[in-house]
Amino acid sequence: MQERKRKILRAVTDDYIQTAEPVGSRTIARKYNLGVSPATIRNEMADLEEGGYLRQPHTSAGRIPSDKGYRYYVDSLMDVPDVPPDERVQIQREIYQPQRELGDVIQRAIRLLTMLTNYTSLAVMPGVRQGAVRHIQILPMDETHVLVLLVTEPGFVQHCIVEVSNPLTPSKTEHLSSVLNDHLRGRALGDLDRHLLSQLGEDLNDLRLFEQAVELLHTAMQEQTEEAVYLDGAVRILNQPEFRDVERAKLLMEALEERGRILSMLTAAAYDHEVTITIGEENVYAGMKDCSMVTATYGIGGQTIGLVGVLGPTRMEYARAVSVVEFVADNLSEMLTKMSRRWSRGR
Amino acid sequence: MQERKRKILRAVTDDYIQTAEPVGSRTIARKYNLGVSPATIRNEMADLEEGGYLRQPHTSAGRIPSDKGYRYYVDSLMDVPDVPPDERVQIQREIYQPQRELGDVIQRAIRLLTMLTNYTSLAVMPGVRQGAVRHIQILPMDETHVLVLLVTEPGFVQHCIVEVSNPLTPSKTEHLSSVLNDHLRGRALGDLDRHLLSQLGEDLNDLRLFEQAVELLHTAMQEQTEEAVYLDGAVRILNQPEFRDVERAKLLMEALEERGRILSMLTAAAYDHEVTITIGEENVYAGMKDCSMVTATYGIGGQTIGLVGVLGPTRMEYARAVSVVEFVADNLSEMLTKMSRRWSRGR
DNA sequence: GTTTAGCACTCGCACATCCGGAGTGCTAAT
DNA sequence: ATTAGCACTCCGGATGTGCGAGTGCTAAAC
């Protein structure tokens, strides 16, 4: 694409992102000094429309970027700014809090994301399957229930209550706990295989207990195997003029209430790349067709374990969103990696 | 108030609740056969308006109930229907699930409430202070952090990670756990007093350990002392015609996102009575001035520990809401009481 | 050949206007 | 005390109009 067309596409997109109004040739000529007259810009815009980068809401209105236009914009027009220093420290202060649970950290991280971007933000936290087991503990609750407590890398605590067919005495649960600990520590719960299980059986020396243990782990895993979805500032989306229509807003909010849907949307889109931008129609779900997402992955020691991002209208401040989301994700990764290392050293 | 006025107020309220349109004298004469002409009804309505029970959105429109009118309606006009059998079983099936955590139970209960009433529903779950301790366990995480696990009556599990100034070895945490267990079991965490603490000190036989224990409990309590607020179906409120205005909707949704505000609102209103109805202006918070709440308390063995309810427009189906909310709360109480008894027997 | 000025044309939007319907309050008759 | 009749009010939707912003085209200028 010729340089001038690029400049114009960029101007249109920037302006529309800022004002939410269709932008005309005169406006561009005035605000962005390209050194050409409105008429020339009009011609170029007609070409851009033909190419599918711009569209007109109605004849004789200004142009707005199409999804394809936004795509081109984020891929090769925008320049991502640095995160300003004050925001850097704000983010880092929030993330490097005195250590808490992973869930809390993520919650706080995305709350900040919401504040800074004014968009809805979301995160996926890894489920229990993924992380290596640090500690596992079985505690009796009442005749028919036990509590399974699981601490996984990197400091992710989960518990669930499991019904057992035969009562377990405190001494038995203690025994069970220690055996399970010996065998599973350092391993991911998803890695349970036959070999491991048979070895477990030998060490337990008690068939019924063994069966219960297997049953227990099975249930525990089923219960909380799912990745957790965090969401913050869902109402922010109502600030956007494109959602001044209640019906639309309702539709979107309803979609956001269904965590499962969000999850599949997020994972479908973006688990492999550092930063992913999903624009309008690229979204799998109807009802999100005029939203965009900017997401980034975070992980421990280079391995991706989760995802944070923001959700806004397609007319989103992509450049800023990218910079902030990326920065948050990077810091999250760094923090988690440190946290994990500290634990290894402590052993 | 004369019987006929009561009948008319009731007719107006019923009709307005159903249609969301101001209701006129002719409508009442036609739909609710009171045996009098529209003109008579008009006179009566004028009286009711003077008395503050009805109001007119504008001259020459029909009447709608004022807050005072609703108040009179719920206090002495409406008759609360039984919960229909199919809904009864649905509710009971949901609540008497194979035992899970209290949080899950409540979550499910209010989800159902949302489904059945089509209003936003909410619940308050007791914080950690209130319940008697069943089990307490300290586990080391890394050099500077331990995990405090707390199981309180009636099967409420909470954990939190606490930073400690001096590292605790596994053997020490074990010792600490067992001592704490001995002393705190059956007591509420909020009851920690000097006497108890000094006794603890004696048994621990280790000053530093004792100090850490106190510090630990202190932090643990501070962290999670707050009652938890559950919310479901917040978007449902957008279905109501009174919130077709986006600004209003946004305001309310924003209020709903602030859990603390909800909490104080709920507790302020309704902790003492079985079923409480809070109407429009009676709400403490602006932004809720055209909402009503129907809440009921639940508890264990007669002692109130929490609260469930629904939130809708003042033009709410009070009768139905009351019946369903009450039924849910009662079943919740019954279930929790049983659960608690079962545990006592298990000891 | 590209750029630009000029101009006719197109829409959407805000605003004013108008009309009908629903409902009221008052008065007088029952 | 109740009711029929009637004049009056006011909202809401339909209709019409003018204005402004913006376009596309054409012809002139560079």
Domains of chain A, by residue range, sit at 3-76, 85-126+227-346, 133-224
- Evaluate whether A85-126+227-346 and A133-224 have a shared fold: no
What value does the mean pLDDT take over residues B174-196? 78
What value does the mean pLDDT take over residues B169-175? 82
Residue B176 pLDDT > 90, yes or no?
no
Interfacial B residues in 205-244 facing A (CB < 8 Å) = 233-235, 238-239, 243-244
**Residue B194 CB neighbours (<10 A):** 7
Share of chain B above pLDDT 70, in %: 92
B151 interaction partners in chain A (CB closer than 8 Å): 139, 141, 147
Element (H, E) at A122: strand A120-125
- Judge: A149–B151 Cβ closer than 8 Å, yes or no: no
**Residue B287 CB neighbours (<10 A):** 16
Helices (H), B142-288: 170-184, 194-204, 207-224, 246-257, 259-270
Checking each nucleotide's C1' against the CA of B21, the nearest proves to be C22
pLDDT at B193: 66
Measured between CB atoms, which of A101, A139, A253 is closest to B238?
A: A253
Q: What is the pLDDT of residues A223-239, one digit of tens each?
A: 656 678 999 999 998 88
Measured between CB atoms, which of A98, A163, A244 is closest to B246?
A: A244
Element (H, E) at B159: strand B156-163
- Judge: B157–A161 Cβ closer than 8 Å, yes or no: yes
Q: Rounded distance, CA B295 to CA A119, Å?
A: 33
Beta strands (DSSP E) in A190-342 are 228-232, 275-279, 291-300, 303-313
Checking each nucleotide's C1' against the CA of B63, the nearest proves to be C23
Q: Does A161 touch chain B if contact means CB atoms closer than 8 Å?
A: yes
Q: How far is CA A252 from CA A229, A263, A286, in A?
A: 16, 15, 9
Checking each nucleotide's C1' against the CA of A61, the nearest proves to be D22
pLDDT at A321: 97
Residue from A133, A112, A113, A120 nearest A235 by CA: A120
Share of chain A above pLDDT 90, in %: 43
Q: Which two tokens stand for residue B3?
A: 């019987």
Cα angle for residues A251, A279, A118 (degrees, 5° grid):
65
What value does the mean pLDDT take over residues B113-137? 86
pLDDT of chain A along its 347 residues, tens only?
A: 789 999 999 999 999 999 999 999 999 999 998 889 999 999 999 999 999 999 999 888 899 999 999 999 999 999 999 999 999 999 999 898 865 677 888 999 999 999 999 999 999 988 766 778 888 888 877 777 788 888 887 777 777 777 777 777 888 888 888 888 888 888 877 776 666 777 777 777 677 777 777 777 777 666 656 678 999 999 998 888 888 888 888 888 888 988 888 888 888 766 667 899 999 999 888 878 889 999 999 988 888 888 999 999 999 999 999 999 999 999 999 998 888 887 776 65
B163 interaction partners in chain A (CB closer than 8 Å): 98-99
How near does any CA of chain A get to the CA of B342, in Å? 7
Cβ contact A243:A237 at 8 Å: yes
Q: Rounded distance, CA A167 to CA A212, Å?
A: 10
- Judge: A99–B161 Cβ closer than 8 Å, yes or no: yes
- Point out the least confidently predicted range of B24-38, B190-204, B228-242: B190-204
Residue B24 pLDDT > 70, yes or no?
yes
- Judge: B137–A139 Cβ closer than 8 Å, yes or no: yes
Cβ contact B70:B293 at 8 Å: no
pLDDT at B269: 66
pLDDT at A48: 96
Answer for A177: CB within 7 Å of strand D: no
- pLDDT band (50, 70, 90) for residue B209: confident
- Judge: B250–A238 Cβ closer than 8 Å, yes or no: yes
Cβ contact A142:A130 at 8 Å: no
Q: What is the pLDDT of residues B295-332, one digit of tens each?
A: 999 988 888 888 999 999 999 999 999 999 999 999 99
Cβ contact A282:A68 at 8 Å: no
CATH superfamily of A85-126+227-346: GAF domain (3.30.450.40)
Q: Does B182 touch chain A if contact means CB atoms closer than 8 Å?
A: no
Q: What are phi and psi of A230, to 5 degrees?
A: -110, 145
Look up the pTM and report it. Answer: 0.86
Q: Rounded distance, CA A197 to CA A202, Å?
A: 9
Round to a whole number and report the distance in Å from the CA of B22 to the C1' of C19.
22
- Point out the least confidently predicted range of B32-46, B113-127, B333-347: B333-347
Contacts of A202 (CB under 8 A, 6+ apart): none
Answer for B49: CB within 7 Å of strand C: yes
Q: Which two tokens stand for residue A76?
A: 């090769």
pLDDT at B223: 60
pLDDT at B347: 54
Q: Looking at the domain that runs over B3-76, which CATH code has it been given?
A: 1.10.10.10
pLDDT at B158: 77
Q: Looking at the domain that runs over B85-125+227-346, which CATH code has it been given?
A: 3.30.450.40
Name the fold adopted by B133-224. Answer: Enolase-like; domain 1 (3.30.390)
